[in-house]
Amino acid sequence: MSEKILKTVKASGESVGIPVLGFFLGFLVVLFYILLRMAPELLAEIFFTLRVFAPVWVPLFLLYFFWFFWVLYVRAKFFKNQEYVVLEVKLPREILKSPLAMESVFMGIHQGVGESTWFDKYWLGKTRTSFSFEIVSIEGEIKFFIWTRAFWRDVVEAQIYAQYPEVEVVEADDYTRMIKYDINEIAVWGADFKLRKPDPYPIKTYVDYGLDKDPKEEYKVDPMAPMLEHFGSLGKGEQLWLQLIIRVNKNEKKKKGTWFGKTGWQKEGEELINKLMLRDEKTKSAKELSAAGFPINPSLSKGEQEIISAIERSISKLAFDVGMRGLYIAEKDKFRSINIMGLLGATKQFNSNTLNEFGPTRYSTILSYPWEDYKKIRKNRAGRRVFDAYRRRSYFHHPYKTPPFVLNTEELATVYHFPGSNVKTPTISRVPSKKSEAPSDLPI
C-alpha cells in the first residue's frame, strides 16, 4: 500500500485513534490526581463551589441527558415502525443515455418532507427520508440496488422508469442479511469516505468528462468504468459493497466560531468565491482601493477563474447530505488485501487536484506494527461496527451518527448512474432481452 494512502488512513477515523470520550475521562483523572497531590485546598474549593451551585447545574445536566435520550427513543420508535424495501435495478443490454438522466432521477426525489414542525421532529421522532443507492459485487456479479422506505417505492420507480424505460425495477431480498458476521469465518475491511475540501468545491463530474453532450458510445469515457471493472474482478467467496446514503440538504452546517449560528451550503460557496476574488461580501466590490479610491480588481489566473466558475455551477444545483461507505468482505482463506486498494481507488476518477476529492475516514484500520493492535481487538471492532452500520444504513442518526458532506445532483449522478454499453464489464447483471410494446393490431 502506498505511503500516502497509509498516512491518510492512519490519520483518520475513530478506529485508529484514541476515542475522544476516553481521552477526556483520562484527562480528568490525571487532573484530579495532580490537584490532589499539589493543591488539595484548591480541589476542596472546587468541590465546595460545585455543591453550592448544584441546584443550578444538576437540573440542567439532567435535563440535557433526558432530552438526548428522549430524542433517541422517539426516533428509534419511528424507525422501528417504518417498512423498508430493497429494489434491484436490472439493466438492459444497452443504455444510450448520459448521466444527465440519473441527475433527473435525483432531482425527482429531492423532497425533504418529514421534519416540517418541531412537534414532528422532537415529539413524534420523524426524520427526513433517506435513500441508499448501492453498487454491489457478489463474487464478481455486479448489481445495482436502492434501499428506501416502502412509502417512497412508487415515487422512486416512477422517476427511474421516466428516464430509463428499458430497465426493470424489482423488489429483492436484502443481500446484507445473507451474511452473518463471524470473525472466525469472514474478514471485513471497510471505510467511510469524506471530501478533502469544503463542500462547495465540486468533484470531477460527468460534465467534465463531456458526457453531457451525449457523444457516440465508442467515444464515451465513463468515470464509473474503472470501479465497475474492479468490482467485476472478484472471485468466489469475495464481495464488495458501496453505498451512498442521501437525504435532502437543509443548510444545517454550523458557522465557524459560533455556537448557534448556521450557514447554508450555497452561502458557504458564495463566501469562498468572495475570498478567492478578494471582494467585500456585501457590496461585491474589491476590498483593495487605489490611491484615487477606486476598487482594484484582483488579477485572476485561468485556473482560479475555472475554480470560481466550477463553484458557481456547483451551488446553483439541488443538494443532498451524503454518507458514503464501502466494504470488502471475504472468506478468511480468500481475503486479498489488493481489494482494499481497489476499494480506496474506486473514487479516483471523481477526484480533481484543483477542486475536490474523496478520501477514507471512519473505521479504516491499517496499522504498521503488530503491537499497535493486541489480538486484533481494534481491527475486529472496526470491522464489526462498519458491517453493522452498512446493514442498518445508519449515517445521519444514532447508533452510527456521522457528519455528512454535501453533493449536488450532478455530482451524485456522476458517482451513481447506470452505465451504457461502452462499459464492457461482462459481469454487470443485465436483462437478457429488451422489452417492447405489443403490436396494436393483435386480435382480442
pLDDT tens-digit profile of 114-157? 777 888 888 888 888 999 999 999 999 999 999 999 999 999 99
Inter-residue contact 161 to 323 (CB < 8 Å): no
What is the domain extent for residue 160?
3-16+81-253+318-415
pLDDT tens sequence across 360-386: 887 765 555 566 667 777 888 888 999
Q: Tell me whether residue 172 is in a domain.
A: yes
What 3-state class would DSSP assign to 131?
strand
440 lies in a domain? no
Identify the burial level of 149 via C-beta atoms within 10 angstroms of its C-beta, where 0-12 means exposed, 13-18 middle and 19 or more buried.
middle
How many structural domains comprise the chain? 1
Cell numbers found for residue 439: 403490436
Q: Is residue 436 part of a domain?
A: no
Residues 6+ positions from 132 with CB-CB distance below 8 Å: 145, 146, 147, 148, 243, 244, 245, 246, 393
CA-to-CA separations, 49 to 35, 52, 57, 213, 325, in angstroms, rounded:
15, 5, 11, 70, 47
Task: Give the three-state DSSP class for 88.
Answer: strand
- 395 falls within a domain: yes
Reference 297, options 310, 306, 284, 313; nearest CA is: 284
pLDDT, residue 3, reads: 43
Does any domain span residue 139?
yes
Q: Does 344 map to a domain?
A: yes
The CATH number of the domain where 341 resides is what?
Answer: 3.40.462
Residues 6 or more apart in contact with residue 17 via CB below 8 angstroms: none
Q: Which residues pair with 172 in a beta bridge?
A: 86
Per the CB < 8 A criterion, the answer to whether 437 and 237 are in contact is: no
pLDDT at 96: 82
Cell of 400: 452510527
What pTM was estimated for this model as a whole? 0.83
Q: What is the C-alpha separation between 107 and 320, in angstroms, rounded?
A: 10
CA quadruple 197, 199, 201, 207: dihedral sign: positive
Q: Write b or e for each residue in 194-228: b if 16 or more Cβ atoms lie within 10 A of its Cβ, otherwise e.
A: bbeebbbbbbbbbbbbebeeeeeeeebebbbbbbb
What number of other Cβ atoms are within 10 A of residue 229's Cβ?
Answer: 16
Question: What residues contact residue 48 under an 8 Å CB cut-off, 6+ apart?
Answer: none
Determine the pLDDT at residue 436.
55
Cβ atoms of 190 and 386 within 8 Å: the answer is yes
Q: Is residue 267 part of a domain?
A: no
Strand 141-149 relative to strand 84-90: parallel, antiparallel, unpaired? antiparallel
pLDDT of residue 364: 67
Q: Convert the pLDDT of each residue in 16-52 to its tens digit.
A: 334 555 666 777 778 777 877 787 787 788 878 888 8
User: CA nearest 409: which of 197, 265, 194, 227?
Assistant: 265
Q: Is 390 among the domain residues?
A: yes
The per-residue pLDDT string of the chain (444 residues; one tens digit each, 9 = 90 and over) reads 444 443 433 433 333 334 555 666 777 778 777 877 787 787 788 878 888 888 888 889 889 889 988 988 998 899 899 999 999 999 988 888 889 999 999 999 998 887 778 888 888 888 889 999 999 999 999 999 999 999 999 999 999 999 999 999 999 999 999 999 888 899 999 999 999 999 999 999 999 988 888 767 667 788 898 899 999 999 999 999 999 999 999 876 666 655 556 678 888 888 888 888 877 666 666 666 555 555 666 677 888 889 999 999 999 999 999 999 999 999 988 999 899 888 888 889 999 989 999 998 877 655 555 666 677 778 888 889 999 999 999 999 988 998 999 999 999 999 999 988 777 777 777 776 555 555 555 566
> How many C-beta atoms lie closer than 10 Å to residue 163's C-beta?
17
**163 CB-side CA count, 13 A:** 21
